Amino acid sequence: MNVKLEIVWMLCALILALSGCASSAALTNALPPPPTTPGAIVTDEWHYTLHGGLITVKGQWVHLPAAEAGELLLWIEHAEGACL
């Protein structure tokens, strides 16, 4: 379970690093904490249907409930806006 939580936090850290906020301590300290995602599920593959067939994609995936994903997206947009 700790590995899954680490993956979620690494995702948040990566988002900040890619947006440029990681290089400015003053900006990142002004941000509210990222929203929690207690409903997140980490899997080693993802399945979906396409034209009646089942497609499997290998790799590590973080799946979020829609409400939690929306909150995280709004937080990311706020963080990116603070970098301008």
- In this predicted model, what pLDDT tens digit does every residue of 49-74 receive, in sequence order? 999 999 999 999 999 999 999 999 99
Determine the pLDDT at residue 84: 62
The overall pTM is greater than 0.85:
no
Is residue 14 classed as helix, strand or coil in its secondary structure?
helix
Q: What distance in Å separates the CA atoms of residue 54 and residue 2, rounded to the nearest whole number?
A: 30
Determine the pLDDT at residue 15: 65
How many structural domains is the chain composed of?
1
Task: For the chain, give percent helix, strand, coil, nearest 5.
Answer: 50, 25, 25
- Domain coverage including residue 16: 2-82
- In this predicted model, what pLDDT tens digit does every residue of 9-42 receive, in sequence order? 667 666 665 555 555 555 556 788 888 889 999 9
Contact 43, 61 (CB under 8 A): yes
Determine the pLDDT at residue 14: 62
